[in-house]
Structure 1
Amino acid sequence: CTSHRMILPDVVRPLGLTATLINIPAPVQRCFLQGARLSGALVSGRMAPKRKATAVKPVKDNPEISGGDEDVKPKKKNPSRAPKTEGSPSKSASRPKQPALTEPTATEDGWTLHPPSLIYKAVPAAQGSKKIAAFDLDGTLVHVKSRARFALDADDWKWFNKRVPTELRRLAEEEGYQLVIFSNQGGIRSALTGAGAVKTRGRVDNVLAALTGKDGPLHAQVFMSTLPDDLRKPGTGMWDFFTEHCNAGVKPDLSQSFYVGDMAGRVGDIQGTNNPTPSDTDKGFAEAIGIAFKTPEEVFGEGEAKKEVVFEGSSGKNDDLADAFQTLTDHFRRLGDGFKANAFAKVQKVLAGWPTKITSSKDLKGVAGVGKGSAAKIDEFLETGKFAVLEEEGGEAAQLPSKAAADAAPFLNI
């Protein structure tokens, strides 16, 4: 073994290999065994068939010999990674798995985790009224401030509009309504003690804290369902739990109570990226309970944040309009105007996936990405069937054919 300045004479033979490995350092063992294989192949005049690597068993009382596969290469150290110090917690130790809850558990921040799928905050000061003003959370009382699809942290929220705090206080203090929030929070699932649940509780607490005025806090109770079971809206499980356990034994007067939510089955009331069907879970929730239903626009006025709508693919309802905006997008991209090209491309996706026939830009009012400029282009095409900008700038598609005409063109030689 030239690597270790040792000579291994005729003991390396294809047959009858005998040698003791005890008290031989591990590196030498590996060289010795590799040499034995090579020698056997050379003596036989051919390369020996590959054999499955076998582990070298460690020898007791010899700390230099390790038990691992002989061909396993040592792992390279990452110089950018700080070395572990004695007593430093491992990744698994820093994030211990939370045991599953089996019974209702109160948290230090005043919430109750009720397995398998309910998180609620009961407030005795907000109980005992027959008149209930109930609300959805996201899209009704607040919006995501970052404009991400889901809140990034407990501070990622803003009011639906500036009237919300004033109107809630008026309902509670002047009209005598008890305020209750019912929200589906499917992202939490069964992890009632997980990071997502902690973030959501903190976010709701921040919303409630912002309702505190010069006359003190505005009390409200909150119920959140986390799994697709009977608690989830439009099911009435959360309402039933509230009336049975969290209203001081007082039965609400359904004729004087109402529920406000944004999922009303309107065009644009979309839940999920791949489901363009309008959702009416909030409206269905109110109807199942037997109380009046209202949209946030009816109670608070128009929202200050536009609704994010995401579609995948085409609904087939507005292909002419979507194709026209694709032409417009391509035109500005060729001119090197990336800003306009990207803006029109975003609108094109909305137009392609919109689940109903668009007759006016007003149908897209409040949809994120459809600004005044895009709205004007939508109305222009719906009225004239073309874009003037393509004619003025020499666009090759000034007069845009309908999808049906475009499909028929190859057969009509036009």
Structure 2
Amino acid sequence: MPAIALIESYQDELTEIRRDLHAHPEIGFEETRTAGIVAKTLRDWGVDEVHEGIAGTGIVGIIHGKQPGERRIGLRADMDALPITETTNLPYSSRNPGRMHACGHDGHTTILLGTARYLAATRNFAGTAVLIFQPAEEGLGGARRMIAEGLFERFPCDELYGLHNDPNTPPGRILGKPGAAMAGASFFDIVIEGTGSHAAMPHQSRDPIVIATQLVQQLQTIVSRNTPPLRPAVLSVTQLHAGAAYNVVPDSATLAGTIRYFDDAVIAMIEERVRAVCAGIAAGFGVEVRVDIRNVFDVLMNDPELTDAYLAAAADVVGAENAVVTPDPATGSEDFADMLKTIPGSYLRVGHAGDVPLHNPGFVLDDGILPIGASLMARIIERRMPV
């Protein structure tokens, strides 16, 4: 079957909602307007229970099927935007300076709203659908906070499903990866405390900028020379901050970045090597180097059996030839991984017609994905809790 006809009939309304959310992006734990729209829309569309204020701005909706059942299946969407200035010049582009839905979470929220409308109208399942609208996915720990605040104690789930839009996959194609599907991630901050001087007398300094540039190069050798080639990892330095004047060697410099990994032993080794390299730099240049490394995302592990079931639901929507197991995990990270450590489930990537990558100020989400994603989520409920 194609995208569910009733959900396709919602296309215009879903597009209007998505574009309104896009025009008013809110970053993690600040999604007050977004959460208000989600809660009101769920109530307007007949969702049985709407619970607000979970992890600050999170929402949970409950829909009971037409027949009673013990099974409870969760569906999750993220709501937050990124601190990016949009450059698309779309009529509905961001009205909030320095905020943008550059990862498509406005689309994910709208997709789950579309699913909610359909499930509340049809209730063609036996059991309970738990709809989780999560704040702060973008590295701020929204999933972990929801779990810590008792999400699954209050709203138990037997299985859990999510999705992400994918501009790198053709429209109408859905990909799944059993097992390790997305990388875990640690973020790091490194502070080099040197000695400043007049720029005309650099011999009087212990120049933190020179030290920082050498440190960046040495950090790159950890993956290329310490990590086993068949156990992938990525280390990227993404920030270097130092100085405020043309004629002053500054006292300090800071570096920041991220490490992506699929293996706990690998991340442990990389973190140890980062600390060792920094200690060596500090000793060699006679400066202090402080290192802070913190885990932000776990490796996202898809349950193999439930991934097969989710892809079977996808085949109902886009055809079996377009619901595909991919051999390659993604080096991006996703905090849905924390939920999947607690509840078994799966996470699929849904292709669309956009051609600008995620987290880019020119990213444009294809609204054609909305009924496809909503149909996918509806079908997994109907398949896993049949009447």
- TM above 0.5: no
TM-score with structure 1 setting the length: 0.26
Q: Which has the higher strand share?
A: 2
Greater radius of gyration (CA): 1
